[in-house]
A and B are shown apart, each in its own frame.
Chain A
């Protein structure tokens, strides 16, 4: 598939850019943060996005979706990255929604996905238990009871868990922490006895939840997919989420880069515009190159997933590593080039730095993905 956007993708991009500029510009993120909005985003705007069909992009038409692919979702996420729109695409649509679409029974999909596509049902994937991303380091246990399971354990960094109507909880039905085998996915209503959520505010003005599970009893019908074989659902879901997050990072890095270039052309010191200094020009040109590589890598990663290409995971890891490095370079250099004003809360460049760092450390940073890329390349 070509790395150039199709006509349909261009239309989605234009619609997304116009909508976000109008309804969710950076001022929107600031307002939510300053008002300490407990949700962290506007449910009304999320419904409007659903009317435009965005949350349903990757889901089958039978379940209320648009039946499109990651390439189309990536276009929307790139635009969200540009305005730092804090909407639950990663948590609800790609991570938890992806797990339901991939592992769920017909009944589970019919129950959950149409509401998700309408912007009514919010989901979160509760898997992570440690700071650094490592998908199989899971201690939470699910023990078989008479006609169901009893879940116990602690989850951290559950993106948008604070507002989720349903949690997809990953727990161990066999094996030991660190092992890929022996994991099972469960659909859990957060209101169930023994399930406690606390909201944590993150640097990027978004929320995640800590989830404490103490003897949470669920029925047999809460199992998503097959017992002990949750990794088979999670592997492709993490790849899709990693590519989607990378697309958002390309958007935020592009915007931070363009804002920095505009500043270099505008700001005067020593009687000249600072963009005329070669020390800054060369660094700006290097940022441009890194951004070009990140863009191409993300476009190909999204298409590799849509085509079910063998070894797609390898380009996904390359894309996340390149995006992590590029977004970090561009936001750090962008702040430096803004000088003192860049350190103030009033200037937006700091918001880009914060979101870039959160995205970098979500779903594995550059070092994690270099290691994975090397393994997938046989060394």
Chain B
């Protein structure tokens, strides 16, 4: 032990290992077959310690852990349990951090523990049919009516609305103000009359998105977060959290000292290995020199992007928000994923053209659907063009 910090981390680790030994039922151990009864008991014990949201304060149901302790938790759980509860990421990664920053005491006490305990699934009411990249022109109205607001309008591209219980929703509360200054951030229950939810089928055949219609839907006035007409600040903050999430985190180093033992394995490229049977090889090198170079370029970009995330994480001081640089991460991660899918299509040739049926390998069908789905990566969560605008304005300070 070099310092007291390390000592307290190891003390936490011992306490945690003992707790896991006692609390994780036998059927949830690796290799065993989980029973429903054990799963429910495990979920209850796990959530009671706030481990689904380990770094949230314990007064709001969270684990109350430091970042270092949360890393220990992430290392130790998979050693003991084959399954553990994961709370909805709309709650843990988007609404939760924003409520902690902008919510009042009552809102935090009311909503955060339900996220931690996996009781409420949240969805995000942002885009509208007439407000995509220009999000601030949204038109869904919220009009005060006694203790309530009455909500009318429609949201689109609402991921998982058909599975969700509540929505955090941007609404227009002052139509006469400039567009950024008349928006409020309101939470309400989706299980009520006047809410209609229709799934949207995508080009990939899947339908994870919905359009949601509101007709005189009620939202309690106490569930307006932050200032009335001050919702845009909260909306932007939440988008920073969303972009950090879409780009694969904020740069936690993946190789903790404990995990590193023995010589590292020879570097391999999953993309190149999946290309090998399709392209053939000559003396171990992929036989198509052009595709080989494109794959190498992709792998190098992925490596350097990972280092960029790591560097940014190391630079960020504890307690700071993700900041405008996350716009670069979202942009780069979506473009990388699109390029990877394009490469997988090129590599497989006609084997990648199957839509359904037994003539094609299930993996090929999945990758082709994945290629179609990847086209949305640079549209959802702020288009790549919007990300470039954000970088130009907020990072580079270029004039309007």
Residues of A within 8 A of B (CB): 2-4, 261, 264-265, 272-273, 275-276, 278, 280-282, 284-286, 288-289, 292-297, 299-300, 310-311, 314-315, 317-319, 321-322, 367, 370-371, 373-379
Q: What are 21 residue pairs bridging A and B, where the CB atoms are less than 8 Å apart in the complex?
A: A276-B400, A280-B398, A285-B388, A285-B389, A289-B332, A293-B304, A293-B307, A297-B303, A299-B311, A310-B263, A314-B267, A322-B304, A370-B297, A371-B293, A371-B296, A374-B286, A374-B292, A377-B296, A378-B284, A379-B275, A379-B281
Chain B residue nearest in CB terms to A369: B300
Check if B391 is an interface residue, CB within 8 A of chain A. yes
In whole angstroms, what is the CA distance A317 to B268 when docked? 15
Main secondary structure, interface of A, reads: helix
B68 at the interface (CB under 8 A from A): no
> A379 is contacted by which of B276, B311, B389 (Cβ under 8 Å)?
B276
**Per DSSP, are chain B's interface residues mostly helix, strand or loop, or mixed?**
helix
In the bound complex, do residue A275 and residue B399 qualify as a contact, i.e. CB atoms below 8 Å apart? yes
Q: How many residues on B have C-beta within 8 angstroms of the other chain's C-beta atoms? A: 47
Tell me how far the C-beta of A178 lies from the nearest C-beta in chain B, rounded to whole angstroms: 15
A378-B266 contact, Cβ under 8 Å, with A2-B314, A4-B315, A370-B297: yes
Contact B272 A378 (CB under 8 A): yes
Contact in complex: A281, B398 (CB < 8 Å): yes
| B328 touches A (CB below 8 Å) | yes
- The answer to whether B318 has its CB under 8 Å from any CB of chain A is no
Min CB distance B86 to A, Å, is 30
B220 contacts partner chain A, Cβ-Cβ < 8 Å = no
Most-contacted residue by chain B among A285, A295, A311, A373 (CB, 10 A): A285
Chain B residues in 8 Å Cβ range of A278:
389
B309 (CB) vs chain A CBs: closest residue: A296
Residues in B with CB closer than 8 Å to A275 are: 398-399
Is B395 part of the binding interface, using a Cβ–Cβ cutoff of 8 Å?
yes
With beta carbons under 8 angstroms apart, the residue of A285, A288, A310, A377 that contacts B264 is: A310
Q: Which of B263, B281, B297 has the most A CB atoms < 10 Å from its CB? A: B297
Q: Which of A4, A272, A310, A379 has the most CB of B within 10 A?
A: A379
Which B residues from 272 to 329 make CB contacts under 8 A with A?
A: 272-273, 275-276, 281, 284-286, 292-293, 295-297, 299-301, 303-305, 307-308, 310-311, 314-315, 328
Given contact pairs A3-B307, A265-B399, A373 touches B300 in the complex (Cβ within 8 A): yes
Q: Is there a chain A Cβ closer than 8 Å to B331's Cβ?
A: yes
| CB closest residue in chain A, given B294 | A370
Q: Which of B269, B296, B398 is in CB contact (< 8 Å) with A276?
A: B398
Distance (whole angstroms) from the CB of A189 to the closest CB of chain B: 42
Taking CB atoms, residues of chain B closer than 8 Å to A286 are 388
**9 nearest interchain CB pairs?**
A379-B272, A281-B392, A285-B391, A296-B307, A3-B311, A374-B296, A275-B398, A296-B308, A293-B304
| Chain A CB within 8 A of B22 CB | no
The verdict on A375 contacting B285 (CB below 8 Å), with A281-B388, A284-B398 known, is yes
Residue of A nearest to B328 (CB): A289
Docked CA distance A264–B393 (Å): 12
CB contact list, B353-390 vs A, under 8 A = 385, 387-389
Docked complex Cα distance between A147 and B102 (Å) = 83
Given known pairs A3-B311, A3-B314, the reply for A379 and B392 (CB within 8 Å) is no
- A2, A265, A378 — most chain B CB neighbours (10 Å): A378
